[in-house]
Every structure is written in C-alpha cells, then in structure tokens.
Amino acid sequence: MRPEEIIAEQLERHRMREAREAKRTESGAELDAALTSDPFARTHETTLTLERLQQLEWKRFEVIVARWFESLGYRAVGSGTGADGGVDIWLYRPGEQRAFAVVQRKAWTNCVGPKLVRELAGVVSGEGVETGYFVTTSAFTRDALNDRAAQKLTLIDGTEFVRRFNALPEPKRAEIVAEIYAGDFSTPSCPTCGVKLVRRASGADRSTFWDCPNFPRCNYTMRPRVGSWSDWAGK
C-alpha cells in the first residue's frame, strides 16, 4: 500500500472514531436532559414519591394499595366496580378462606374526616372482621385521628403509605411501580364500568367534565376540580 493510501486510511478511521464519540456524547446529553426534566425517571424503577402517588387515578391507586398488601404476604381481593359497601379490598391470610380485614382507600385531595372513619369502623363490626385499614393519598383531620373509631383501624395517609411502600425490597418496588405507571395512569376510570372516562366540554362557557364513553348505557359523569389531583379522584 502506498504511503498516501495509508495516510488516507488512517484519516478515515480517525473520522469514524470521532463520529462514534460524537454520537455517544449526543445520546448521553439527551439522556441527561430527560432525567433532569423528569427527576422521577432517575429512580422510577425502585422509588415512589408522594407527588407521583397523587397523580394516580382512583383505580390505579387501588391497585398499588392491593399490591402493597400482597407484598406483605396477604391475598388482596378487590370489590370491583359499582357500589362497594364501604369496602374496596378484602384481605386474607395465606390458606384462609375468610377475610380478616377490610380496606377503604380514597384518592382524595381533601383531608379525610371522622365521618368516613366511623363508617369504616362500622363496616368492620358489621362484617365481623378483625380490623380495617383506611389508606388515602391525602391526610386525615385531627378529629379523625382522635376519634374513638380510629382505635379499631389503621389509618395510613399519603406520606405514610409512601414510606411503607419504599420499605419494600427494591425488586418488589420496581415490579409494582412498573405495573402501576404503565400506560395511562392518570385519566380517571368510570367507577360503574371500569373504563377510562372521556373529557368533554358543554354549555356556552365550554366547561369540561368527565363522561363515561358507554353513555347512554352508563350515565356516570364527574366534574374536574382544576388545580388539584382530585381531578382523578373518581371514587
């Protein structure tokens, strides 16, 4: 090979090496930008935050609560759509056919007051189970926490649920978070049909509302609450 050919080949190899390095640098910059714009992306495989919890629509919130209880060794059975009688999830110990506890969950922005706490305590007595859990994305009022009925229950607010969830082993957290945040996790589901609601506008002011796509078979509607995650609190 002639000297000029050797030099040309070396230059071409150098050019190709620089092109590969530039491509890697560009990809890395894009990844860093994505991680910076979405801090949760850095730890989404293992960690839950209160902000992300409060982005869940009611059905996904129910699922993450059920998965958390299952990770503790219980069998969690949802009550399904429609009227639930004050019970969202029934808990069973391994090998037992009778539920030992009931769970009520509220994907709310407002604090949960004593009325709902008393109602759950009444369900515990009426169903003859040992105890009940009330889990919410928000918080409980002081009156609710101090109510006598609360002594029969375990009250878990959003901050406490995040703490308990993140205490799970890392592989289990990653598995649950991947399931819960797959696809559309924020559009509310119809509590009657279970399908995703559709946002519509009506009236002269074009005010928006959530509507069941199965209308007229199902006439469920929900008014969005602007500026809070209660937009997703359909049940």
Per-residue pLDDT of the chain (235 residues; tens, 9 = 90+): 555 555 556 556 656 666 655 555 444 454 444 434 444 444 456 789 999 999 999 999 999 999 999 999 999 999 875 555 789 999 999 999 999 999 999 999 899 999 999 999 999 999 999 999 999 999 999 999 999 999 999 999 999 999 999 999 999 999 999 999 999 999 999 988 888 999 888 777 777 888 899 988 998 888 775 444 434 444 5
> Which DSSP symbol is given to 90?
E
Taking alpha carbons only, the member of 106, 118, 112, 182 closest to residue 152 is: 118
* Residue 94, helix vs strand vs coil: coil
pLDDT of 192: 86
Q: Degrees (nearest 5) of the Cα angle 155, 161, 164?
A: 110
**CATH class belonging to 50-170:** alpha beta
Q: Are 166 and 71 in contact (CB under 8 A)?
A: no
Residue 197 is given by DSSP the state P
- Work out the angle at residue 114's Cα, subtended by the Cα atoms of residues 110 and 119, and round it to the nearest 5 degrees: 110
Give the Cβ contact number of residue 88 at 10 Å: 24
If you search the block for the tokens 């007595």, which residue do you land on? 125
What is the model's pLDDT at position 145?
Answer: 97
Peptide bond into 114 cis (omega under 30): no
Q: Is 29 exposed, middle or buried (0-12, 13-18, 19+ CB in 10 A)?
A: exposed
Q: How far apart are the first and last CA of the chain?
A: 78
Residue 225, token pair as written in the block: 């609450």
Q: Domain residue spans in the chain?
A: 3-37, 50-170, 198-232
